[in-house]
A and B are shown apart, each in its own frame.
Chain A
Amino acid sequence: MSLAELICPAGTPAALRTAVDAGADAVYCGFQDATNARNFPGLNFTPEELEEAVAYAHARGAKVLLALNTYPPAGKVDLWRQAADSGARFGVDAFIVADMGVADYIARNHPGVRLHLSVQAAASSPEAIRYYAQHFGVKRVVLPRILTIPEIRKIRQEIPCEIETFIFGNHGLMVEGRCSLTNYLTGQSTNMDGVCSPASEVEYIRDEATGTMSSCLGGFTIDRFGPEEKAGYPTICKGRYTAPHRPEGYYAFEEPVSLNLSRLLPDLIGAGVHAFKIEGRQRSKAYVRSVVSAFRRAVDDIRAGRAANIEDLVALTEGQKQTQGAFETKKWR
């Protein structure tokens, strides 16, 4: 049986402490800049906060993984190199990277620190994963959320590194690291600036007469929720659009729904998955506390040979709907 490490999100030092106290085996986080894919206002860590957070986690037996999982624009690699140098100095346990140049820099300059391949690298084939493992010494790959469990089992048999899969949170299905939808509407890049639907470009407009709420990005309306409808994130991939053949409006790419693999944990362990990732660095301590605690108990139950009893987490899901997505079947919609 794999170790089934629980990898948990932290957007602030308080969230990191919450995750560690709730039973995280490792916590992933980022700096307050474009070096990570959750470069959101008021979120993330200063260098001083990260140093303190590493000490807090290590004192309690938890690891800290530093996300450096965006792509440096040409000629601007210094920010990523400095972030890697700081992380290594503070004693982080691994770097989560997507860009080959960043991976190469860390492999050469900080060979004692593990490299994990971010989902932002979109490596979904044994050939791609082996390339990163062989050339940069990547020890773990975070797989995209587009693979079935039999496919994951097959990949595991053909690669020389560990596998981490998302088990809860955002159900992102675009080809991560290559999605330019935000850039198309706002001019800011998810992959280089670390901003998917930057808050500065988001506006919610309520119609008092009808009770509807419009969700807008960059001046474009991307969804309109009726008074009784649950809402989702203001991302283009989960927008609702009209088209000549669907004048009533429909979810053209994805629906506002969250991934929840709580019932598939034993199957994932059986497939050789080494670590379970909870998405949500942008979420609150309340989310971190609830989700990490629930999955901590579930993983411990499974390790002990007991049936896992997962709490109902649907109230925390996007659109208050959940799915097992491609992990269950590629026909999940």
Chain B
Amino acid sequence: MTVEHGATLPPRPPGAGALARLASSMAQPILGRIARRVAARHASLFARLGAHQNTDYVIDPVELPFALHLRPDPQALLFRAVPRDALPAAGATIRGRFLMLLELLDAEVDGDAAFFSRDLEITGDTEAVVRLRNALDDVDGSIAEEAAAMFGPPGRAILGHLRRKYSDDAMPRGE
């Protein structure tokens, strides 16, 4: 099956104001737990990051009302939701649809192919992005499923729902 994706990403939602701040604050405890668990279970990925353990990555899922800020320093790991009007100065920015980013995280989608199709945009320090991609790609298993499992059956159900929705959205047009 050939899956056609849009050649360009939709415009960013505002991601600012009261709604974005509320959504960010609600997501924060969950993100913190996920980051700590992944770092503890996959400590070897930090070696592939090299000096970019101190890089500030902004991961911008275009459908969400906020972006994500990652600084993968094993000594002071930072992974937080941030309204788009309060983003830090980014060393590198990675932008795409949320579920595609999730599939990239789990090596279900090839990053170069997503870049060729223009579903993935990167700006800033390209080496930082390449290092992060290669570090995550060397992780066995599914980080998304590990994260979902932390929240029991509801977590797995939400992940399953998101994946089905992504699969439906990615069906070839005209069928």
A and B form one complex: yes
**Contacts A206-B121, A314-B2; A285 near B113 (Cβ below 8 A):** no
Is the pair B137, A12 in contact by a Cβ cutoff of 8 Å?
A: yes
Selected from A231, A233, A282, A315, the residue in CB contact (under 8 A) with B2 is: A315
- Does B35 interact with chain A (Cβ within 8 Å)? no
Stretch at the interface among B16-24, B74-82, B122-130, B161-169: B122-130
Q: Is A42 touching B131 in the complex (CB atoms < 8 A)?
A: yes
**Stretch of A94-102, A139-147, A149-157, A197-205 contacting B (4+ beta carbons < 8 Å):** A197-205
- The CB with the most chain B CB atoms within 10 A, among A203, A233, A283, A285, is that of A285
Q: Is the CB of B7 within 8 A of A42?
A: no
Closest to A320 in B: B116
Asked if B140 contacts A17 (CB within 8 A), the reply is yes
Asked if A319 and B140 make an inter-chain contact with CB atoms under 8 angstroms apart, the answer reads: no
Q: What residues of B have a CB within 8 angstroms of the CB of A229 in the complex?
A: 7, 118
Among residues of A, the one whose C-beta sits closest to the C-beta of B47 is A46
Asked if B39 is at the interface of the complex by the 8 Å CB criterion, the answer is no
With A41-B134, A42-B50 as known contacts, state yes or no: A284 contacts B121, CB within 8 Å: no
Which one of B26-34, B104-112, B149-157 is at the A interface?
B104-112
* In the complex, per-residue mask of A222-262: 1 if CB is within 8 Å of any chain B CB, else 0: 00010111111100000000000000000000001000000
Q: B137, A14: Cβ atoms under 8 Å?
A: yes
Instruction: Tell me, yes or no, whether B138 is within 8 Å of chain A by CB.
Output: yes
Taken residue by residue from 29 to 54, chain B's Cβ proximity to chain A (1 for < 8 Å, 0 otherwise) reads as 00000000000000000001110000
**Which residue of chain B lies nearest to A321 when distances are taken between CB atoms in the complex?**
B116
B-side interface size class = 35 or more
State the CA gap A204–B107 with chains docked (Å): 23
Q: Please, which residues of chain A bring their CB within 8 A of the CB of B140?
A: 14, 17
A40 and B134 within 8 A (CB):
yes
With A284-B111, A284-B137, A312-B1 as given contacts, are A200 and B117 in contact (CB-CB < 8 Å)?
no
Check if B89 is an interface residue, CB within 8 A of chain A: no
Partner of A230 from B116, B126, B135 at Cβ < 8 Å: B116
| A 284-333 contacts with B by CB, 8 A | 284-287, 290, 312, 314-320
Q: How far is the CA of A227 from the CA of B2 in the complex (A)?
A: 21
Which residues of A sit under 8 angstroms from B121, Cβ to Cβ? 204, 206, 213
Q: Which residue of B has the minimal Cβ distance to A286?
A: B110
Residues of A within 8 A of B (CB): 11-15, 17, 40-43, 198-200, 202-206, 211, 213, 225, 227-233, 256, 282-287, 290, 312, 314-320
A-B contact pairs, 18 of them (CB 8 A): A11-B134, A12-B138, A15-B138, A41-B127, A42-B48, A42-B131, A42-B135, A200-B125, A203-B126, A204-B126, A229-B7, A229-B118, A283-B110, A284-B111, A285-B107, A290-B110, A316-B110, A317-B116
A-B pairs, top 9 by smallest CB distance, nearest first, are A42-B134, A42-B131, A12-B138, A199-B127, A285-B107, A42-B48, A202-B126, A287-B110, A286-B110
Additional A-B contacts beyond A284-B112, A284-B137 (9; CB < 8 A) = A11-B137, A12-B48, A42-B133, A42-B134, A228-B8, A229-B7, A233-B112, A284-B109, A315-B3
